[in-house]
Amino acid sequence: MKAHLITYGCQMNEYDTHLVESQLVSFGADLVGSVDEADFVLVNTCAVRGKPVDKVRSLLGELRKQKQQRPLVVGMMGCLAQLEEGQRIARKFEVDVLLGPGSLLDIGKALESNERFWSLQFKDELHGHIPPPPTGKLQAHLTIMRGCDHHCTYCIVPTTRGPQVSRHPDDILRELDSLLAAGVQEVTLLGQNVNAYGVDQGAKLAGYPSFADLLRLVGRSGVRRVKFTTSHPMNFTEDVAAAMAETPAVCEFVHLPVQSGSNRVLRRMAREYTREKYLSHIAEIKKHLPHVVLATDIIVGFPGETEEDFQETLSLYDEVGYDSAYMFIYSPRPGTPSYKHFQDLPRELKTERLQRLIVKQKEWSARKNAGKVGTIQELLLRGDAHDAGFLEGHTRGNHPTVVPKALGATGPGIYRARIEHATPHMLYGRLIGQDGQDLPELPRLNPEAAALSSPLQMA
């Protein structure tokens, strides 16, 4: 069998795609790089906003056409598969295999079955399952929990992924060991709400560390860099900031979604914190980590959001001074409380607010990135950049960065670089050492690349 997976959605879906791909390989399938080469196409879906759902719909339409012309098995997995909306789509487009986010390990049974195979149960075996490490990669994701116990009124995730289940710390550490043995240098711990690790359905699980202690444990494993996402402000404790500060492997990067700067909107979203509480967490983080890089998620145009509410989001952005932000237009999702109870705002008004927020975000990202010029950053370089002669990667603070190749530094690895230029979206540096060592400046491999590293030409 020749299988091809297509992934929409967040990093949890990327992790799950890897998990299913490795199962397929263990059953003898070959992974191929395109739909045309495949006789089994599996789409890993996202349902968080209308757009990813539309994309899946048109892709499945395309695949149904292909099915009429050649033998092809089409599968759908992930968040949308769990919803009635997704199952309607699956029936319409004659999807053969359907796996909810809790039943991924049924992929083997699906392959054995000669007829339509749908499985939507949440199976406990998934939490103890350790997928083999990715090959030849310096970065990996590590899921530490699945599901979500919050009920933000706009969000479909608790419906698609079910209640929160934390993975046992022994399983997490075993998976980490296998990643390290495979040469992984940067691990991102994943969960919908990592700060609530070990506190499932409101109760503390016996023998599970707090998230802060899990960070300390992971930091002692020998991994070079640890990141985590996502944090919910309500479950954030100062001990997490303290653990970050005292654990050198944990990167100085916090993604703390705020969603809105207005208390009225936060209440209607059922976010369970106030603007003031959120800002007090930011102050705690800055106290422990003065050079922290801060990112957030913001929804604009939530039902009932007034111009005044929106102004509060803009002013909160200034108060925090985020390095980056994911900004979304509110998308009403069937099955969520806000869809049922609130009236959606006009499209133009939402779009116009998003434009203004993007202006704000660009100003801050430009200012923050400009502040990095002249500093020395530790880079994880993944490999060749778009332009030959350059390598691309990212800092501990997740800034995308490009550097010219230098003698002794032509491939993936952890390097040190001095930042020379910045745009709102990119840092441009010059390598000065490798693997954390303070080496003398590395000569550039190619003097033409030096000329090219001006941001005017690169941007």
Q: Of the candidates 245, 162, 148, 159, which has an alpha carbon nearest to the alpha carbon of residue 197? A: 148
Name which of ligand SAH, ligand F3S, ligand SF4, none residue 269 binds, using a CB cut-off of 5 to 8 Å depending on partner kind. none
First to last CA, the chain: 43
How many Cβ atoms from other residues are within 10 Å of residue 229's Cβ?
Answer: 21
User: How many whole angstroms separate alpha carbon 166 and alpha carbon 230?
Assistant: 14
User: How many whole angstroms separate alpha carbon 389 and alpha carbon 150?
Assistant: 47
- Among all chains, which residue has been given the structure tokens 């890897």? 18
Span near ligand SF4 by CB under 6 A; candidates 5-13, 154-162, 277-285, 320-328: 154-162
**Binding of ligand SF4 by 251 (CB under 6 A):** no
- Among all chains, which residue has been given the structure tokens 């102050």? 283
Structure tokens at 12: 């949890």
Q: Do residues 168 and 128 make contact, with C-beta atoms less than 8 angstroms apart?
A: yes
**Binding of ligand F3S by 161 (CB under 6 A):** yes
Span near ligand F3S by CB under 6 A; candidates 42-50, 53-61, 89-97, 250-258: 42-50
Whether omega for the bond prior to residue 230 falls within 30 degrees of 0, making it cis, is yes
Q: Report which DSSP code applies to 330.
A: -
Site for ligand SAH in 140-179 (CB under 6 A): 148, 154-155, 157
**Binding of ligand F3S by 47 (CB under 6 A):** yes
User: How many whole angstroms separate alpha carbon 379 and alpha carbon 377?
Assistant: 6
In angstroms, give the least distance from the CB of 235 to ligand F3S.
17
| Residue whose beta carbon is closest to ligand F3S | 9
**Binding of ligand SF4 by 146 (CB under 6 A):** no
Write the burial class of residue 33 (CB in 10 Å: 0-12 exposed, 13-18 middle, 19+ buried): exposed
**Binding of ligand SAH by 390 (CB under 6 A):** no
In angstroms, give the least distance from the CB of 326 to ligand SAH.
7
In angstroms, give the least distance from the CB of 419 to ligand SF4.
33
In angstroms, give the least distance from the CB of 402 to ligand SF4.
32
The strand pairing partners of 226, in sequence order, are: 187, 250
Q: Single out the residue of 46, 184, 250, 449 in contact with ligand F3S (rule: CB under 6 A).
A: 46
**Site track 185-214 with ligand SF4 (rule: CB under 6 A), x = hit:** -------xx---------------------
Distances (CA, A) of 38 to 29, 361, 440: 10, 41, 49
Site of interaction with ligand SAH (CB under 6 A):
48-49, 148, 154-155, 157, 192-193, 230, 232, 257, 259, 297, 299, 328, 330-331, 333
Site of interaction with ligand SF4 (CB under 6 A):
148, 150, 152, 155, 157-158, 192-193, 232
Site of interaction with ligand F3S (CB under 6 A):
9-10, 12-13, 46-48, 78-79, 157, 160-161
